[in-house]
Amino acid sequence: MKTTINHLYSSILFFSSILLLILFVILPGCVDAPNPIGAEILPETDLLLLKQDTLYATSHETRFFFSNNSSLDKFCVGKFQSYETWGLLGFFGLPDSLTNVRVLNASIRLKAAYHFGDSASNISFRAYRMVTSWVGDSLTLDSLRNFQSNYYDATPLQLSYSGAIGDTDYITIDIPDTSIVRQWLATVNDSTQYNYGLLLEPTNSSVIMGFASYYTLDTASMPTLTIEYEKDGEVQTYVHYYSLSRFLSSPTPTSASFSTIIKDSSEFFYAQNGIPYRGTLTFDVSSIPNPSNINSGFLYLTLEPTRSLSNNYMHDSVMVTQLNSDGTLSYPWISLSSVTTDSLGNRVYKIDIKKGIAYWIRKYYPAQIVIFGYGESSSFDRFAFYGSQASINLKPRLEILYSTR
Amino acid sequence: MKKTSLLWIIGFFLLSQNSFAGGSSYSRYGKGDILYFGGSRAYALGGCGIATIGNNYLNQFNPAGLSRLLITQFSGSFENSTISSSTQNGSSKYNTFGIQSFFIAIPISIEDGIALSLEYTPYSQVAYAIRSTSEQAGYLRTNTFYGNGGLATLAAGLSLSITNDIHIGAKVVYDFGRTEQYIKTDFTNSDILDTEIEHSYGYHGFGSSFGIIVERIGKHLNIKWLEPLTLGLTFSPPLSLSTDYQAYYPTYDTTITLQSGYSDLPLSFGAGMSYNLNKSYILVSDIQAQQWDRAKIFGQPEASLRNSIRFGIGCERVPNRQETSFWKRSSYRVGAYYHSTYYDINGKGIDELGVTAGIGFPIRMLGKLDLGFQYSTRGVTDQNLQKDSFYRISLGLTVNERWFLKFEED
């Protein structure tokens, strides 16, 4: 039996070796890369059919969207036209080594980083002591105004500023009544928190100023709290850098024009930075077959310049993302605009949203988008776009290139 | 010995690496290239074997052909196929390597000719890799097509001898598999997203196949010179395969079923003869036909198909089975075939003409090793068609084993 198996094994090896030698003669020259040979054999229908379609927005809207800007590199305060912005600034994490010192002087230094409105006009604001935390997401300027006692002490502090500020100026705001600073220092270790920072209410009317926050990349631009104190008979200075800040904006309560512009226009929709308001558009993509591959899909939005507002700090771009059917955002995709000019000289924003369209035709998401400014959280520019009721040359449109079989 | 083993292992590995490749564009149509495999012996005999029966032979065409089996046999076959395709614009060469069949036949009752068989046999193969350029709506693009996949058959068969000369058999078959076409479109314009889609058809379904073999025809007809003649018939009723048509979008990782329903594997019919000239020679001839022109998929006629007919002849010589000489006990085979394939492309039927040869080497006590060669050409370069030249090599190993049978002790 063993001899037989050896015979079988030898036979297999012998003949397989012959086979391999033959194959090695044949195999050289074989290709595995695709090539044009036989292309004519394939039916025309195997080629993906490329189709183009233009779809226009069926409806538009402008909506308020809550935005938390507390981790931004700037915070703002001021008023301009129909916009009003209140600043919140808190110096936290003060050292317990200064608990019992005698405070001689205190001041806050801020560095200008942005303006919206008339940069030459005065900015003025007064300060209040906040009595509760303000880092939560749901805080709005309206809630601050309407429920004042829940948020801040209505008695203004002896801490204010008034004057024109250059675009890169530092300003120093003295705190003549140092009692609030003393209280901050004295209660560092208390279980009941006293230091909730400051609320800065604008009292000017022609400019909104932005100041560098703790999150600015330039350490020298951070807000600082400087405390001059006496300890053991020696006068010393302490500079505190760590702070939190944010700003709350809304239309001024008396501004009817804002409501008129933002909410009541049937011909336009808006992306209003700072507050913020965002534009929404709805499309009907049922004419695009499912399945198909979306090869390109561009959204074109035409700007109406007289209703738009901008300044030299403007991020001249808008962003677009998915709007869910319940009005929330889930960001399955997000796109940034580029800008072109149409034959009539209009400024046209072009946004690549092919990923979104691919989701729509597969019915993963509704064919709805939201448009917002690239600098939504850090500026107050306003983009006014022609809406779904505008003439066909101006209304929002999707130019789609897709392939199907 | 060790060096030879190493060569064999390395060679097998290299061949496996080449197993992915392009192939003939004709396989884009229907179910792909239909693989007619009736066993390693038939492979070298022009693909003929419907009427072949013997006590040491696995007939994979005709289930009745197992009736004279004396001992359990396992068989495994592999094929390397090199294809040279040419058109009026150029030529290209491809290589594929794959399993031809695994087959086991177990005699249950030698007296009654009852034998059971189980087999796995690829039924069809799709393999092509094509790149072309085209322009549509002002967009220039490169289109890449990869075809792959195919159908395979799992079958269980049973044979029975009605008389000493008349044998019948039947198979239950399960056909299954998926044929795929991957398409990638690359645009020269970088603003446009390239497209990838994989279309595929998945098939599965049960069917049947029947066969009969009648030996010594001359004896029954009282014609002496026809006594060595054996006739065989096979018949497979049409079969409806459950079929789904899917599109997979790699970009979105999404699979969509576009259509579900049925497709046909049509009626097929085969007739064969074998004639023992003397103890050394056997002549065989087969004709096989399949009614593809009425085949439908999802209720619609399958495009570019016609009825197929395959005709083959073959001759085998075994110099002397009783000799101790290894070479005299070996089988020497030649054959030829003409195949009017089921492809009907651009209004022209695609025909194949081939010659075959092979040797069957006996392995003492254990079985045999079959080596087969085929060379064939298919199609023409006119009418935007292509001509394929096939160089095929098959290696089959059959091993005997005693199962279930009781042998009287001396």
Are B368 and B398 within 8 A, CB to CB? yes
The structure tokens listed for B169 are 């058999």
- Beta-carbon separation of B93 and A30 below 8 A: yes
Q: Distance between CA atoms of B150 and B177, rounded to whole angstroms?
A: 6
pLDDT of residue B4: 43
Amino acid sitting at position B163:
T
CB contact under 8 A, A37 and B89: yes
pLDDT of residue A151: 94
Q: Phi, psi at residue B196, to the nearest 5°?
A: -130, 130
Estimate to the nearest angstrom the gap between the alpha carbon of B352 and the chain centroid: 14
Q: Is A53 part of the contact surface with chain B (CB cutoff 8 Å)?
A: no
A50-65+276-404 CATH fold: Jelly Rolls (2.60.120)
Burial class (CB in 10 A: 0-12, 13-18, 19+), A379: buried
Asked if the Cβ–Cβ distance from A17 to B7 is below 8 Å, we say yes
**Test mutation, A40, A340, A401, chain B, max B CBs within 10 A:** A40
Which tens digit of pLDDT belongs to each residue from B316-355? 999 887 777 888 889 999 999 999 999 999 899 999 999 9
Domains (range + CATH), chain B: 26-401 (2.40.160.60)
Contact B94, A31 (CB under 8 A): yes
Residue B20: is its pLDDT beyond 70? no
Q: What pLDDT shows up at residue A26?
A: 53
Looking at the predicted structure, is the pLDDT value of residue B3 above 50?
Answer: no
The answer to whether A294 and A361 have CB atoms below 8 angstroms apart is: yes
pLDDT digits (tens, 9 = 90+) for B88-101: 988 999 888 889 99
Q: Among B144, B365, B369, whose Cβ lies nearest the Cβ of A12?
A: B369
Residues of B in contact with A16 (CB under 8 A): 8, 11, 395
Is pTM beyond 0.80 here? Answer: no
**What is the Cα Rg of chain A in Å?**
32
Helices (H) and strands (E) in chain A, counts: 6, 22
Give CA–CA dist B262/A187, Å, rounded: 81
Secondary element (H or E) of residue A133:
none
On whether any CB of chain A is under 8 Å from the CB of B92, the answer is yes
Window 112-151 of A, Cβ < 8 Å to B: none
pLDDT band at B366 (very low <50, low <70, confident <90, very high): confident
In the structure encoding, which two tokens stand for residue B161, read together?
């001898």
Chain length of chain A: 405
Residue A254 DSSP code: T
Q: Give residue B19's pLDDT.
A: 41
Does the CB of B365 have a partner CB in chain A at under 8 Å? yes
Letter string b/e over residues A230-250, b meaning 16 or more CB atoms within 10 A of that residue's CB: eeeeeeeebebeebbbbbbbb
Contact B128 A38 (CB under 8 A): yes
- Which uninterrupted H or E stretch holds B235? strand B229-236
Number of CB atoms found within 10 A of residue B321's CB: 13
Determine contact: A299 vs chain B, CB below 8 A: no
Structure tokens belonging to residue B233? 């018939």
Confidence at residue A237, expressed as pLDDT on a 0 to 100 scale: 96
Q: To the nearest whole number, what is the mean pLDDT of chain B?
A: 90
Residues 338 through 397 of chain A touching chain B, CB cutoff 8 Å: 354, 358, 362
Band of residue B18 on the pLDDT scale cut at 50, 70, 90: very low
The alpha carbon of residue A36 is apart from the nearest alpha carbon of chain B, in Å, by: 5
Q: What are B225's strand-pairing partners?
A: none
Q: Which residue stretches of A48-187 are H helix?
A: 141-146, 148-151, 179-186
CB nearest A50 (choices: B136, B145, B385): B136
Domain regions of chain A by residue span: 50-65+276-404, 74-251
Position B319 scores a pLDDT of 87
Contact call for A291 and B256, based on CB within 8 A = yes
- B18 vs A: CB within 8 A: yes
CB contact A405 to B (< 8 Å): yes
**Chain A, nearest residue to B139 by Cα:** A50
R_g of chain B, CA atoms, integer Å: 23
Mean pLDDT per 10-residue segment, chain A (405 residues): 56 61 56 84 89 95 82 90 91 91 95 90 94 82 90 92 91 93 90 89 93 91 96 93 92 62 76 90 94 92 91 82 90 93 93 94 93 88 93 96 88
Handedness of CA A222, A227, A232, A233 (dihedral sign): positive
CB contact B331 to A (< 8 Å): no
Question: For residues B280 and B330, what is the distance between their CA atoms, to the nearest angstrom?
Answer: 11
Task: Name A90's Cβ contacts closer than 8 Å, sequence gap at least 6.
Answer: A130, A195, A196, A197, A198, A243, A244, A245
Q: How far apart are CA A54 and CA A283, in angstroms?
A: 11
The values of phi and psi at residue A342, to 5°, are -85, 180
Calculate how close chain B gets to A295, using CA atoms only, in Å.
4
The two structure tokens encoding residue B305: 């198909």
Q: How far apart are CA B328 and CA B346, in angstroms?
A: 50
Q: For residue B273, give the nearest of B34, B43, B37, B45 by alpha carbon.
A: B45
pLDDT of residue B11: 44
Residue labelled with tokens 């196949």: B209
**Contact across the interface for A32 and B183, Cβ inside 8 Å:** no
For residues B170 and B176, give the distance between their C-alpha atoms in angstroms, rounded to a whole number.
19
- Written as one string, the DSSP assignment of A260-314 is HHHHS-SSEEEEETTTTEEEEEE---TTS-SS-EEEEEEEEEEB-GGG-B--TT-
- Residue B2 — very low, low, confident or very high, per pLDDT cuts 50/70/90? very low
Decide if A38 and B25 are in contact by the 8 Å CB cutoff.
Answer: yes
- The answer, for B170 touching chain A at a CB cutoff of 8 Å, is no
Distance CA A95, CA A93 (A): 6
Dihedrals phi, psi of A179, to nearest 5 degrees: -60, -35
Three-class HEC string of B141-193: EEEEEEEEEEEEEEEEEEEEECCCCEEEEEEEEEEEEEEEEEEEEEECCCCCC
Distance from CA of A148 to the nearest CA of B (A): 51
Residue B328: per-residue pLDDT? 86
Determine contact: B71 vs chain A, CB below 8 A.
no
In chain A, what residues touch B146 (CB-CB under 8 Å)?
A: 34
pLDDT digits (tens, 9 = 90+) for B24-58: 999 999 999 999 999 999 999 999 999 999 888 89
Provide the pLDDT for residue A160.
87
CB A196 within 8 A of CB A134: yes
Q: Give B93-127 pLDDT, tens digit per residue.
A: 988 888 999 999 999 999 999 999 999 999 999 99
Instruction: Give yes or no for residue B408 having a pLDDT over 60.
Output: no
Question: Do A34 and B386 make contact, defined as CB atoms within 8 angstroms?
Answer: no
Tallying the residues shown for chain B, one arrives at 410
Interface predicted TM-score (ipTM) = 0.83
**Residue A362: burial class (beta carbons within 10 Å; 0-12, 13-18, 19+):** middle
| Chain A / chain B CB contacts < 8 angstroms | 189
Closest of B65, B64, B60, B51 to residue B272, by C-alpha? B51
Q: What CA–CA distance (Å, rounded) separates A319 from A349?
A: 10
Three-state DSSP at A327 gives coil
Residue A142 DSSP SS3:
helix
Would you call A28 an interface residue with chain B, using a CB distance cutoff of 8 Å? no
Whether the per-residue pLDDT at B16 is higher than 80: the answer is no
